[in-house]
Amino acid sequence: MDMIFLSRLQFASTTIFHFLFVPISIGLVFIIAIMESFYVKTGNEEYKKMAKFWGKLFLINFVIGIVTGILQEFQFGMNWSNYSRFVGDVFGAPLAIEALLAFFMESTFIGLWIFGWDRLSKKVHLACIWLTAFGTTISAFWILAANSFMQRPVGFEINNGRAEMNDFFALITNGQVLVEFPHTVFGALATGAFLVCGISAIKLLGKKDVDFFKKSFQIGITVALSATFLTLVAGHAQAQFLVETQPMKMAASEGLWDESEDPAPWTVFANIDVENKQNSGEVKIPYLLSILSYNTLDGSVKGMNDLQAEYVQKYGDGNYIPPVKTTFWSFRIMVAAGVAMILLGIYGVFLAWKKKLVAKPNKWFYRFMIAGISLPFIANTSGWIMTEIGRQPWTVFGLMTTEDSISPSVSAGQVLFSIIAFCTIYAILGAIMVYLYVKVIKKGPYLMEKEDTKVTNDPFAKEGFHA
C-alpha cells in the first residue's frame, strides 16, 4: 500500500464529499434572500412561503456541511503533519478569520433568521438572511485565500525551513484568489439555482403546488443562467492566469507535449499516450486555445516537455509532469457540464419569458432539469480535480512536494482504516440528507407550513420544549 496514494485518496474523497454541500449553502441562501426580498417589497405571502420552504432545505444542508467540514482541518494534522508544519504560520490567519468571523457571522444570523419570523420587523429579518448570504460568501473567500497560497505562494519568507507570512495584504490580494474566488462563487450560485429548478421541475411534472413552484422555477432559472454565464467568464480569466503562473497545469489540461502551433488550436478529444509522450486521434478547434490563453487569434502555448526541462533546471531532478489524462479529461468534463447548463438555462429563461412553463410539451424539458441537478456538482468536482491534480507533484507550488508533505509517523494501514471509517460516516450522512430532503419535498410548502403552525401554537413549543 502506497502511503502517499492513500493519503491523497483520503483527502480527495473527504474534500469532494464536503464540497457537495458548500456550493449548495452559498447558492441556496442567496436565492432565499431574493425570495424574501420579493416578499418584503410586494407583501405577497407566497414569497414568504417560498423563503421558508427552501430555507428548510438550506438548513439541512448547512448542518450536514458543518459535520463534513470538521474532518478537513483534522486531516492537516493527521496525514499531512509535515505540510501543516511548513505552512501553519501562513494558513493560520485566513483559517482563523474564516472560523471566528465569517462562520460565526453566518451562524448568528441564521439563528436570528430561523427564530425571527414574526418577532423581528420584515426589513430586519430580511437583513439577517442577506447577512447570512454575505457570511457564507466571505467564508469561501478565506478558504480560497489559503488554497491560493498553495497554487501561487505570495506574502511569505522562509525561516528555519518553514514558510512564515510577512505580508497579509499580499496573501488576500493574491492574483490566484482574485480569479479563483469569483469562479467558485458563481459556480456555487449555479449549483443552488439548478437545485431549486430541479426540485421545482419534479413538482411541476406531478402538477403539485403549480403556482408556488412555477415562481420558484422562474427565480431559479434566471439565477442559473446568469450565474453559469458569469462562471464561464470567470473561468476564462482563471485559465489565462494559469498560462502565466502554472503553465505546466495548463499544458497538461490541453495534453500538449510540445509547444503548440501558432495560432494554437483547442483539443476537444485526444488519445493520450503518457508513456511515449504523444497523442493520437486528436480533434481540434482552430485558434480557440490562443483565444482562451491570450484573447487574440495568435500565440503559442508551451508544452510539457519544454516545461519539464525548465523545472528540472530550476527545482532540481524530478518528474514535474502531473497526471495528464486526469487533468485533461477533468477539464473537458467541466466544460461539457457547463455548456449543458447554459443550454438548459437559455431554454428555461425562454419558456419563462414566453409564460409557457406549465405547457404540456415541456415534460421532456423538466426531466432534463431534474437530471440537470447533477450538472453543477459534476462541473464543480471535475474543476477542483483539475485544479489540484494539475498542480502535482506540488502541495505548495515550487516550495513543497506532496511526497514531503505526509505524516512520517502514520502508517498506510492507519490511513486505509480511516478512509473506510470516514467513507462509512459520509455514506450515512449522505443517506440522512437525502431522506430529509425527500421528506420536506414530498410534504411541499403548504403541508409543511401547517405542521410548523401546529408546533408554534403548542404552548410547550413556545417555552422551547420542541426543536
Query: What is the rounded CA–CA span in Å between residue 35 and residue 135?
Result: 18
**Is the pLDDT reported for residue 181 higher than 90?**
yes
d(CA 451, CA 419): 40
* Percentages (nearest 5) of helix, strand, coil residues in the chain: 75, 5, 20
Q: Could you tell me the three cell numbers for 346?
A: 437559455
Q: Which residues of 87-98 are buried (b: 16+ CB within 10 A; e: fewer)?
A: bbbbbebbbebb
pLDDT at 450: 60
Distance CA 197, CA 261 (A): 43
Spatial contact of 153 and 175, defined as CB atoms under 8 Å apart: no
Task: Say which amino acid occupies 88.
Answer: G
Cell of 295: 484573447
Provide the pLDDT confidence category of residue 98 given band limits of 50, 70 and 90.
confident
**237 vs 249: CA distance, rounded Å:** 15
Higher per-residue pLDDT: 426 or 456: 426
Q: State the Cα–Cα distance between residues 99 and 101, nearest whole angstrom.
A: 6
Grid cell 449553502 — which residue? Answer: 25
C-alpha cell at 29: 441562501
Are the C-beta atoms of 133 and 29 separated by less than 8 Å?
A: yes
SS3 20: coil
Res 456 pLDDT > 50: no
Query: Binning pLDDT at 50, 70 and 90, where does residue 466 land?
Result: very low
Most confident of 178-182, 273-277, 355-359: 178-182
Q: What is the pLDDT of residues 250-301, one digit of tens each?
A: 889 988 888 777 888 888 888 988 888 888 888 888 888 888 888 888 888 8
The pLDDT of residue 461: 44
Confidence class for position 129, pLDDT limits 50, 70, 90: very high
Greater model confidence, 462 or 355: 355
Q: What confidence category does residue 465 fall into, taking pLDDT thresholds of 50, 70 and 90?
A: very low
pLDDT of residue 126: 93
CB 352 within 8 A of CB 216: no
Contacts of 467 by beta carbon, 8 Å cutoff, 6+ apart: none
pLDDT at residue 408 tops 90: no
Least trusted range by pLDDT, from 35-39, 100-104, 233-237, 382-386: 100-104
Beta-bridge partners for 158: 163
Name the DSSP class of 284.
Answer: E
Instruction: State the pLDDT confidence band at 223, using cuts at 50, 70 and 90.
Output: very high
Contacts of 422 (CB under 8 A, 6+ apart): 10, 13, 14, 71
Cell output for 313:
533546471
Residue 463 confidence (pLDDT): 42
pLDDT digits (tens, 9 = 90+) for 425-454: 888 988 998 999 999 888 877 766 666 655
Mean pLDDT over the full length of the chain: 87
Q: Is 236 helix (H, G, I), strand (E, B) or coil?
A: helix
Per residue in 201-211, pLDDT (tens digit) is 998 888 888 88
Q: Is the pLDDT reported for residue 179 higher than 70?
A: yes
Residue 240 scores a pLDDT above 80: yes
Residue 359 confidence (pLDDT): 60
Which element (helix H / strand E) includes 161? Answer: none
Lowest mean pLDDT among 71-85, 107-121, 323-337: 71-85
Which of the four pLDDT bands, split at 50, 70 and 90, describes residue 197? Answer: very high
Residue 358's φ and ψ, nearest 5 degrees, are -100, 15
